[in-house]
Structure 1
Amino acid sequence: MKYRTIGTDPQRRREVSVLSLGAMLFGTATDEETSFAILDRYVEAGGTFVDTSDNYAFWVNGLQGGESESLLGRWRRSRGIGDEVVIATKLGARPLAPGTSYVDNPEGLSAKVIRQSAAESRERLGVEKLDVLYAHIDDMSVPQEETVEAFGALVAEGSVGLLGVSNQWVWRVERARALAAASGLAGYELLQYHHTYLRRRTDRPSELDPDGSPGGADGALLSYVRHHPGLTLVAYSPLLAGGYVRADKPLGSELDHPGTPARLAALREVAQATGATVNQVVLAWLIGGEVPVVPLVGASSVAQLDESLAAVDLELTADQRARLDAAG
């Protein structure tokens, strides 16, 4: 396994594995026995960065969220896991009632919700301190100053380590970070967005983000991370839920443009040259790029996880990376 540092404050920064494991469906679509086996294998391989949210998985069987965090809490206790594994969670997008969603009925980012939801996440995870806490979606109904101050207060009191943000416009991220800095508070240092090798169209919403939220890492976001040392981009859905390799998982309409076939061809060429799978080349391209990226992968079996883990040791040559970068 390889590692990189997240965060800038010497007292709060952490070293994490360059490959993060998503626990979105653990405890629901992925049963507990399988989830534990995947987590055990990840840790055995040196993985130390697990991702969840307080709203996972509200869309399964009319649930309301919290199932993934609760499973991770049971796994931690049963395995004696301490702070050697960094667990990141999120708040703001948990539905307020069963049968609703983050689109029409989210908990939001008020100071009251931030404090209450963070406490509930700590309880479900069985920890006194959340390693990483993200604002999952934006909340335009609450003054941004209130949100920034509430997150900063949790860090100041020691109940949260590092802060992150997901699915917000870059100008909102920058404004939140400026507000935090002006008040002497901790600000967002991890940015979690959809990012992969294929380039998305910008003239239509992604099928991953049907509500039109800025869930994708576009050029503006990548430039922002590149020019702000200390920020880390965590890339969710880097393998397009199987879209690179499975005929039954067609690519979304946001990838329907002339550049996609050229980039797919380059991927296949490099995969053949390296003896790796297409998915492994995608992950290696992300891990070794100029912008610091931590791919966040899901797995429904140990075999799927093993394929992703092998990508950590895949070293692309300068020529192979140039070929991938220039395609499309």
Structure 2
Amino acid sequence: MEYRNVGGVEVSQLCLGTMMFGTKVDERTSFDILDRFVEAGGTFVDTANCYQFWEGDGQGHESEELLGRWLRGRGLASGVGRDRVVVATKVGARPITGPGRGDFPENREGLSADIIRQQIEVSLRRLGLDHVDLYYSHHEDRSVPLEETVGAFGEIVQAGKAKAIGVSNEPAWRVERARQLAAHSGLPSYTWVQQRHTYLQPRPGFHDEFMPILGEELLDYVRSEPELTLVAYSPLLGGAYSGRSDRPIPLPYAHPASAGRLAALEEVATELDASPNQVVLAWMLAGTPSVLPLFSASSVAQLEESLGALELKLSEEQLARLDQG
């Protein structure tokens, strides 16, 4: 496992998402996955204060609480063990009217200063930590002045409750504006950007305001700002690259132009004796800028497959073929 240092926070080049832990993935399996990830050298885990309120009887606190139990049980919540795991969580998408799904996302908590200050305390209690390593704004909230959100996140870092801050699901101009505001006020600034991204490209004209797919504008912005690190969520499309009939290509990517990219992906995977999932992760890591994949797993076997991507070495010709597919 290789590592990156971003703003004083060193992380493994793969990030394990724990969204399903405590709901779709039971506690024992979740602990096994986390144990194996750390054993393999993984240090970076990702959660949020709303995971997964939409799953069955989920309330939104399951993932953070399970991760907290694992951290405490493994001696990683305090003392010398605390620095062995980098914990990221998020604020802004938790429903304020309970776990009901009917009026989401309109009923989400948003990014007011009061919500940010309150929810960092709640997340720290669930996780059993005195600080998180990375605190993200989860979704864009234009109902709150950006100055207010930036100020509150800066306070969180200054108070020692987070080492670094990041932004997710926002357009490039908003990220730049937030960073300008922070610099003007002498506040800590965003050093992480998390966005939906995978090997397949969405159909022309596709737009999702709530969960935007990484576009060239944001990619170019991160490429030009060396202090920013880009994290890609949903890189494996929930298993769609496996070709299983019960894991179809999601609608944004199900269009004729995807056929060529899928063919190139399959060719390279065959040449490397690897799975398409592994090639997707390796392709992200080898790009410019190098994108840090945030993947998940519902079994140790799935985790092992993703870890295998670290062994792949894509040639320049293979990278070019994948890019042109």
Distance 1:58 1:185, change over 3 A: same
Contact 2:203-2:252 within 8 A present in 1 as well: yes
Alignment of 1:161-200 (within 5 A): 161-200=163-202
Contact 1:94-1:102 within 8 A present in 2 as well: no
Partner of 1:129: 131
Partner of 2:320: 322
Tell me how far apart the structure 1 counterparts of residues 236 and 176 of structure 2 sit (CA, whole Å): 28
Shift of 1:52: 0.3
Contact 1:92-1:106 within 8 A present in 2 as well: yes
Partner of 1:241: 238
Alignment of 1:134-283 (within 5 A): 134-205=136-207, 212-245=209-242, 246-283=244-281
SS in 2 for 1:244: helix
Amino acid at match of 2:283: W
Shift of 1:259: 2.3
Tell me how far apart the structure 2 counterparts of residues 2 and 198 of structure 1 sit (CA, whole Å): 25
The alignment status of 1:39 with 2:34, answered yes or no, reads yes
Shift of 1:157: 1.5
Shift of 1:102: 4.4
Tell me how far apart the structure 2 counterparts of residues 87 and 159 of structure 1 sit (CA, whole Å): 12
5+ residue gaps, structure 2, are: 77-81
Q: State the TM-score, normalizing by the size of structure 1.
A: 0.94
Contact 1:169-1:214 within 8 A present in 2 as well: no
RMSD over aligned CA atoms reads 1.2
Amino acid at match of 2:107: N
Amino acid at match of 2:70: W
Distance 1:59 1:127, change over 3 A: same
State the Cα deviation string for residues 41-80 of structure 1 (Å, max 9, x = none): 0000000000000000101224331110000110011111
Partner of 1:298: 296
Tell me how far apart the structure 2 counterparts of residues 155 and 19 of structure 1 sit (CA, whole Å): 24
State the Cα deviation string for residues 115-148 of structure 1 (Å, max 9, x = none): 0000100111111011100000011111110000
Shift of 1:292: 2.5
Contact 2:9-2:163 within 8 A present in 1 as well: no
Partner of 2:48: 53
Tell me how far apart the structure 2 counterparts of residues 164 and 191 of structure 1 sit (CA, whole Å): 6
Amino acid at match of 1:276: A
Contact 2:237-2:250 within 8 A present in 1 as well: no
Tell me how far apart the structure 1 counterparts of residues 204 and 34 of structure 2 sit (CA, whole Å): 36
Shift of 1:247: 2.0
Moved more, 128-137 or 317-326: 317-326
Over the matched positions of the two proteins, sequence identity in percent amounts to: 56
SS in 2 for 1:243: helix
SS in 2 for 1:270: helix
Contact 2:229-2:291 within 8 A present in 1 as well: yes
Amino acid at match of 1:235: A
Shift of 1:214: 4.8
Shift of 1:202: 4.2
